[in-house]
Amino acid sequence: MNKEEQILLRITGRDRRGLTASVMSILAKYDAQILDIGQADIHSTLSLGILIRINEHNSGQVMKELLFKATELGVNIGFQPVGDEEYEQWVTKQGKNRYILTVIGRQLEAKQIAAATKIIASQGLNIDSILRLSGRKSIVHTGKHTRACIEFSLRGEPTDRRQMQEGLMKMASKQGIDFSFQKDDMFRRMRRLICFDMDSTLIQTECIDELAERAGVGDQVKAITESAMRGEIDFKESFTRRVSLLKGLDASVMEDIANNLPITEGVDRLMSVLKRCGYKIAILSGGFTYFGEHLQRKYGIDYVYANELEIGDDGKLTGRFVGEIVDGNRKAELLKLIAQVEKVNLAQTIAVGDGANDLPMISAAGLGIAFHAKPRVIANAKQSINSIGLDGVLYFLGFKDSYLGDQGKL
C-alpha cells in the first residue's frame, strides 16, 4: 500500500487570471487532498499557499508538472514536506482562541503597525492573517476625511489580557490611532442592535448648551455640562440645575436649533450602512426628545429615549422636565430592555458615547465604544475612536469599504 505525505506549496509572483485554476487542475488530476489553503494579493503580487496530502507515488510527478506550469505562468513555486507529527501539532492548535485586533487612523504608517505588532508578539499571540478594511488611498487626490484600517486575525490566548489592553491604550494614545481588541466569536459577526448617545456623539454640540445660549445663560450651563460629562457631579443634579436656568425661553427656538444641528463626521455613511444591513438603531440620550426625534426622522432610527422639556401654556419653557431623567443607569436599563424586546442577545449589542453618563451602557453592551470621549470614559472603555469619524464603528464590526458600494466611498 502506497504511503501518503503532506507537501506545502508556496507560489509567489505576478498575479494573473486563471493561475489558481491551473494549479488546482494539476492537483485534481492526481487526487490531492487540500488540507489548507490561503491567498493574498498585494498590488497585483500573488502569495498563494496550499497544503496538500498526496500519495507519495504521485508526488514527484505532481511537483514536476507544477514546476513546468509555474515557468509557463512566470511565477515562483516552492515545495516543503510536512511530517505527520508536525501536521498533527498544527491541527491541535486550531482549537485555540481567536481574537481580532482592529487598528484605525487617518493614516497608518510603519511605526504604528510596528508598535501594534510588538504588543501582539509580547503577549504570545500569533498573527494568522492581516486584512486591509479601508479602501486604497490615492496619493494624487487626497480627501479631507481620509481613513485607514487594518485588521489582524490572532490565534492564542494573551499572556496577560489586562496588560495587553493597557499596552494597546498607551500605544494608541502615543501613536494617534485607535484600536479594538475583540474575541473572534459568533457574536462579533452577528451584532444586531446599536445604541448611540446623541449630544457630542451623533451631533457635535450639546443641545442644552445651544438652548442656554439663546436664553443668555450659556456660560453657566456650559460649566455645569462639562463638570457632569467629566463625572464630577451627579448627572440628575446637574440636569435639574441646567434645565431650571432655561425658564422663560421661547420653545420655538428649538426648531431653529434642530434644523441646524452640526452632524458628526461619518454619521450619514454609518446610518445608511446600518439601515441597509438590518441593524436596529436607538438613541439613548441625556439630552432632549425634541432633537432626538428630529434625528429619528432624518435617519429612520428605531428608538429614541431622552428627556422631555416642559412647555407652558404661553409657549415658553418652564424650567422643568416631564417624566424620569435618562441618566447613565437608565441608559443601561434601556439598552437591555430594547435588546429583550428585539430578542437580541446582549452580546450582540453595541453602545457608543462620549460622556461619563454613557459608561454604564458602554459596559453593559457586547461592544462598548468611547467616541471622542473624555479621558475617564476612554480609560474605562475597551474600545475607543478618537482619530476619525463615527463611521469608524463599521471597521470594528468587520466591514470593508469594498463591501459597501457607494456607501463605502469617502
Of these residues, 15, 178, 197, 401, which one is catalytic? 197
Of these residues, 36, 128, 178, 199, which one is catalytic? 199
How crowded is residue 238: how many other Cβ atoms within 10 Å of its Cβ?
A: 22
How crowded is residue 219: how many other Cβ atoms within 10 Å of its Cβ?
A: 11
Q: Based on the number of CB atoms within 10 Å of its own CB, is 43 exposed (0-12), middle (13-18) or buried (19 or more)? A: exposed
Give the whole-angstrom CA distance, residue 330 versus residue 290.
Answer: 19
Q: Are 150 and 165 in contact (CB under 8 A)?
A: no
Q: Which helix (H) or strand (E) holds 78?
A: strand 75-82
**CB neighbour list of residue 346: distance below 8 Å, 6 or more residues apart:** 336, 339, 364, 365, 366
How crowded is residue 3: how many other Cβ atoms within 10 Å of its Cβ?
A: 8
Q: Dihedral (C-alpha) 362, 366, 367, 370: value to the nearest 10 degrees?
A: 10
Cell of 117: 505588532
How crowded is residue 145: how many other Cβ atoms within 10 Å of its Cβ?
A: 12
Q: Output the CA torsion sign for 232, 308, 200, 267.
A: positive
The DSSP code sequence of 292-343 is HHHHHHHHT-SEEEEEEEEE-TTSBEEEEEES----HHHHHHHHHHHHHHTT
Determine the 3-state secondary structure of 272 from DSSP. Answer: helix
Parallel/antiparallel/unpaired status of strands 317-322 and 178-183: unpaired
Q: Are 101 and 113 in contact (CB under 8 A)?
A: no
Give the whole-angstrom CA distance, residue 340 versus residue 336.
Answer: 6
Q: Are 62 and 26 in contact (CB under 8 A)?
A: yes
For the question of residue 199 being annotated catalytic, the response is yes
Query: Which residues are known catalytic residues?
Result: 197, 199
